[in-house]
Amino acid sequence: GQQVMQIPQYQHVQEGEDFTTYCNSSTTLSNIQWYKQRPGGHPVFLIQLVKSGEVKKQKRLTFQFGEAKKNSSLHITATQTTDVGTYFCAGNRYSTLTFGKGTMLLVSP
C-alpha cells in the first residue's frame, strides 16, 4: 500500500532558527496536504500542493512539492514559540489520503 514517510520525527530549535520537515511518498501523488497539530489539539489544515514543482508561501512558511510529485517539504524561517506543534503531511492518491507520522517541533525561547 501507499506509504508516506516524514523526517525528522522530532526537532528542538532555539527561537529564531529555521526548521524544515521532509515528506516522501512511495508512490506518485495527485496532491499533498500539510497539517499542524498544536499540543492537546487536533490537526488543522495548512495548505494543499497540486502541481509538480509547486512552491507556496504563507508568511514564514514555505511549502514545496517535488518535480516527481513524490516528495514535499515545509520550511519555517525564523521560528517562533507559536510554531510549536506537530506537522503532518498527507499524500493524496486516487481517493486515498495517507498521513505521515509527523514531525514534532519544539521551540525554546
Partner 1 sequence: DAGVIQSPRHEVTEMGQEVTLRCKPISGHNSLFWYRQTMMRGLELLIYFNNNVPIDDSGMPEDRFSAKMPNASFSTLKIQPSEPRDSAVYFCASSLLAGVSHNEQFFGPGTRLTVL
Residue ranges in contact with partner 1 by CB under 8 A: 1, 30-31, 33, 35, 41-45, 48, 88, 90, 92, 94-99, 101-102
Neighbours of 80 (CB within 10 A): 12
In Å, how far are 8, 99, 109 from 46, measured between CA atoms?
19, 14, 24
Type of residue at 12: H
In the complex, least distance from residue 90 CB atom to partner 1, rounded to whole angstroms? 8
In the complex, least distance from residue 5 CB atom to partner 1, rounded to whole angstroms? 12
In the complex, least distance from residue 108 CB atom to partner 1, rounded to whole angstroms? 21
The smaller minimum CB distance to partner 1, of residues 64 and 103, is found at 103
| Nearest Cα to Cα of residue 43 among 56, 52, 34, 51 | 34
The smaller minimum CB distance to partner 1, of residues 15 and 57, is found at 57
Q: Is the CB of residue 34 less than 8 Å from the CB of residue 46?
A: yes
In the complex, least distance from residue 102 CB atom to partner 1, rounded to whole angstroms? 6
